[in-house]
Copies of this chain bind each other. A is one copy, B any other.
């Protein structure tokens, strides 16, 4: 077939430029939907076969972007491993973007999505509603873990209230009554929810809330956590247990407690969150709330692929179960060295 003549015919009939028609032939989905329909109508009228487009769809735009706020927190590696396995099974590549998304960075972020031909985005970032909407207009988005519920976009997460309640219930079951929480910044949904779970647990056990035991640490940072913990355990009425909403905080707590010549868990029991690989490398090893990280990755990626393929059935958000992994930092019957 003579391409030049054909493009001319389609162009005349559809009133779409030859350049756009050529782009459509190479990358059908890089052309606006209306334009695509005009071209397809013209092709049909000319008796041309347009079935190649369905094949194109499956071989192009095969990159999925997994966006995280920071590489330093080891929790992401296992979530990404799950997402990657799911992506590769479905013939997608997975690339990781370490980017915070805000008013300042949004334009570059969207440029990156376009330049890299991203088919979809998984994000573990907290994203303001207007920016999330803007991104979702460019590519399908699935939120993983931290999520904004304003747009009713689908997400995969854990039930932070339940997970937190379970952790504090466990500390209470050990006979602890003065339980502190080392929490993250309350602008995060997870931090809000874990505070609620903490409070619910204490209320159920008739333990009065002591606001001096509630610490909000402005970011996931080891040094700030050490300083906060130092103040906490040098109060007149020091806690007998600490619920740390991140294992990094738990490591900081244990280090600080030991530096103050107190014993973990005898004087102060410590429970962390995320069950990152460091929890069994420290002395004592760290009891932790385990998120199903690999599954979070798998489910968020498979939901994203459903959205990319525009499958009919409406997507339901998911909440996965957590478990408590008991180690030396709460259990003095486990040998501590």
Contacts and interface: CB of A to CB of B under 8 A. Distances in A.
State the oligomeric state as a number of copies: 2
B63 A112 contact: yes
Given A63-B112, A93-B108, A115-B62, A283 B281 contact: no
Contacts of A61: 115
Contact of A95 (B19, B77, B116): B116
Interface in A93-143: 93-98, 108, 111-112, 115-117
Interface string A247-262: 0000110010011000
A215 interface: no
A80 interface: yes
A172 to B, nearest CB: 28
Interface string A1-15: 001100110010000
Contacts of A259: 337
Q: Is the interface of A mostly helix, strand, loop or mixed?
A: helix
Contact of A4 (B18, B222, B277): B18
B95 A97 contact: yes
B76 A71 contact: yes
A3 B17 CA distance: 8
A266 interface: no
Contacts of A62: 111, 115
Interface stretch (A22-30, A33-41, A146-154, A302-310): A22-30
A194 interface: no
A95 B93 contact: no
A96 B95 CA distance: 6
A245 to B, nearest CB: 17
Interface in A252-301: 252, 255, 258-259, 277-278, 281-283
Contact of A60 (B115, B222, B281): B115
Nearest to A80: B71
A327 interface: no
A182 interface: no
A115 to B, nearest CB: 5
A165 interface: no
A65 interface: yes
A74 interface: yes
Contacts of A80: 71, 98
A110 to B, nearest CB: 11
A267 to B, nearest CB: 14
Interface in A309-337: 337
The 4 closest A-B pairs by CB, nearest first: A71-B77, A22-B22, A93-B112, A96-B96
A277 B72 CA distance: 9
B277 A278 contact: no
A331 to B, nearest CB: 17
A84 interface: yes
A18 B23 contact: no
Contact of A77 (B23, B63, B72): B72
